[in-house]
C-alpha cells in the first residue's frame, strides 16, 4: 500500500531541500566502504569514580549532529559531500571491566585496520575509554602524542580503585604506551587535583597548562605551542577532549562540573586549530553525561567539538 504522508521507519521531521544536516552524512560502515571520518561509540562509564551516565553519550552526540548543517558560514564552505562512516558501538560486558576494555581496544584496532578513513572519532563513555583507544592507535601508528583538554590530570594511582576514569594517562605511561613528554594537558583547573598527581606530571615531564596559563597566554598560543612540542617527535597525534575542561556554565552535563574552566568558544577554537595538523588521526570526546545535562547543552557542544575536528 502506498501512503500519502506516512514514511515508515523514518522520523517525521522538517526537511529544507537546500540544507544538509550533519547526521545525514553519517552512514553505517560496510566492508570495503571508504569515507572521510570514521565514528565509533565506546559506551562505558562503569569505571567512573563518580556516578555517571556517560555510557549514553554516543547516542545523544550522534543525535545532536542532526541539529547542525554541513555549511560553515565562517569558511563559506559546505561539507555536504564529506562521508562519515559509523562503525557502531562496542558491546560492553555487563560485569567484567577488563573484558570491556579489551573489547574496546580490539574494536578500535579493527576499525583502524580497515584504513577506510583519514580520521577517526571515538565517542565515550567516561575518560577510562581513552586507555584502550590510545593503546590501539599506538599499535597502528607507532609513537603517539596526545593533547588532552581536561580539568584534571587523570593520573590517579591504580591501587585505590583499579583502572577508572581518573587513571587513563597514568595507565598509558606505566604500560609504556605513552611517554610523559608526549602528553600535553590544557585547562587543568585550580583546586581540582592532588599535589601528588601534579608532582607525578612534573616527574614524567608532562606538559601541563593550567587555566591561569590560558588566561595569561591565550588558548591559541598554547595550542600552537603544544603542536610544536609533538610534531617533530611523534608519528601521530591524538586529541582527547574531556568535556569537564569546559566551565560548568557551558557544559552542565558532566559528572565533575566546576567553575573557572574553558569557555565553549575557547575549546572549539583550540580543537579546530589542533585538528588542522596532518599528524592528527584521532580524537575522543568523553565525560558527557546526558542524565545530568540541561536541554542537551553538553551533547550539542560535544557535537560541535566533533565537527571542528572533522571540518578542517
pLDDT over 80 at 1, yes or no: no
Task: Sort 63 into a burial class: Cβ within 10 Å, 0-12 / 13-18 / 19+.
Answer: middle
Q: Is residue 186 helix, strand or coil?
A: strand
Q: pLDDT tens for residues 169-226?
A: 999 999 999 999 999 999 999 999 999 999 999 999 999 999 999 999 999 999 999 9
CA distance 263 to 242: 13
Q: pLDDT tens for residues 141-168?
A: 999 999 999 999 999 999 998 899 999 9
> Does any domain span residue 284?
yes
96 is in an annotated binding site: no
* Helices and strands, counts by H and E, the chain: 9, 11
154 is in an annotated binding site: yes
The answer to whether 222 and 266 are in contact (CB under 8 A) is no
pLDDT of residue 177: 98
pLDDT of residue 23: 97
In the chain, the number of structural domains is: 1
Task: Sort 160 into a burial class: Cβ within 10 Å, 0-12 / 13-18 / 19+.
Answer: exposed
242 is in an annotated binding site: yes
Residue 180's nearest CA partner among 133, 225, 144 is 144
Q: pLDDT tens for residues 241-272?
A: 999 999 999 999 999 999 999 999 999 999 99
> Does any domain span residue 283?
yes
pLDDT of residue 84: 98
150 is in an annotated binding site: yes
> Does any domain span residue 8?
no
pLDDT of residue 202: 98
Q: How confident is the model at residue 17 (pLDDT cuts 50, 70, 90)?
A: very high
* Cell numbers describing residue 207: 606538559
> Does any domain span residue 211?
yes
pLDDT of residue 228: 98
pLDDT over 90 at 3, yes or no: no
> Does any domain span residue 12?
no
pLDDT of residue 12: 80
pLDDT of residue 11: 78
- Domain extent, residue 221, equals 22-310
> Does any domain span residue 5?
no
pLDDT of residue 19: 97
> Does any domain span residue 9?
no
CA distance 164 to 186: 21
pLDDT of residue 246: 98
Q: Provide the CB-side half-sphere exposure for 12 (13 A, CA).
A: 4
**Domain harbouring 281, CATH code:** 3.40.800.10
Q: pLDDT tens for residues 75-125?
A: 999 999 999 999 999 999 999 999 999 999 999 999 999 999 999 999 999
304 is in an annotated binding site: no
Q: pLDDT tens for residues 265-302?
A: 999 999 999 999 999 999 999 999 999 999 999 999 99
Q: pLDDT tens for residues 57-72?
A: 999 999 999 999 999 9
pTM of the model: 0.96
CA distance 226 to 240: 13
pLDDT of residue 130: 98
> Does any domain span residue 148?
yes
* Cell numbers describing residue 230: 609533538
Amino acid at each position: 500500500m502506498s501512503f500519502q504522508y506516512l514514511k515508515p521507519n523514518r522520523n517525521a521531521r522538517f526537511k529544507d531541500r537546500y540544507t544538509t544536516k550533519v547526521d545525514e552524512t553519517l552512514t553505517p560502515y560496510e566492508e570495503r566502504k571508504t569515507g572521510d571520518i570514521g565514528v565509533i561509540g565506546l559506551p562505558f562509564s562503569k569505571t567512573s569514580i563518580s556516578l555517571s551516565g556517560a555510557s549514553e553519550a554516543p547516542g545523544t552526540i550522534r543525535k545532536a549532529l542532526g541539529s547542525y548543517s554541513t555549511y560553515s558560514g565562517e569558511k563559506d564552505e559546505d561539507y555536504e559531500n564529506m562521508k562519515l562512516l559509523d562503525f557502531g558501538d562496542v558491546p560492553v560486558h555487563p560485569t567484567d571491566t577488563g573484558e570491556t576494555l579489551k573489547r574496546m581496544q580490539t574494536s578500535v584496532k579493527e576499525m583502524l585496520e580497515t584504513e577506510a578513513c583519514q580520521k577517526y572519532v571515538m565517542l565515550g563513555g567516561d575518560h577510562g575509554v581513552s586507555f584502550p583507544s590510545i593503546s590501539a592507535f599506538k599499535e597502528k601508528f607507532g609513537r603517539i602524542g596526545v593533547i588532552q583538554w581536561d580539568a584534571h590530570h587523570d593520573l590517579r594511582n591504580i591501587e585505590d580503585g583499579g583502572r577508572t576514569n581518573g587513571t587513563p594517562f597514568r595507565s598509558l605511561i606505566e604500560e609504556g604506551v605513552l611517554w610523559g613528554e608526549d602528553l600535553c594537558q590544557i585547562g587543568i583547573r585550580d583546586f581540582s587535583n592532588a599535589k601528588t598527581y601534579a608532582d607525578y606530571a612534573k616527574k614524567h615531564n608532562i606538559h601541563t597548562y593550567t587555566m591561569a596559563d590560558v588566561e595569561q597566554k591565550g588558548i591559541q598560543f598554547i595550542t600552537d605551542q603544544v603542536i610544536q612540542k609533538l610534531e617533530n617527535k611523534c608519528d601521530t597525534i591524538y586529541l582527547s577532549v574531556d568535556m569537564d575542561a569546559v566551565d560548568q556554565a557551558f557544559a552542565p552535563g558532566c559528572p565533575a562540573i566546576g567553575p573557572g574552566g574553558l569557555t565553549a568558544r575557547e575549546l572549539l577554537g583550540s580543537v579546530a586549530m589542533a585538528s588542522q595538523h596532518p599528524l592528527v588521526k584521532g580524537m575522543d570526546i568523553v565525560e558527557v553525561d546526558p542524565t545530568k545535562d540541561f536541554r542537551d547543552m553538553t551533547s550539542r557542544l560535544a557535537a560541535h567539538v566533533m565537527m571542528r575536528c572533522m571540518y578542517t
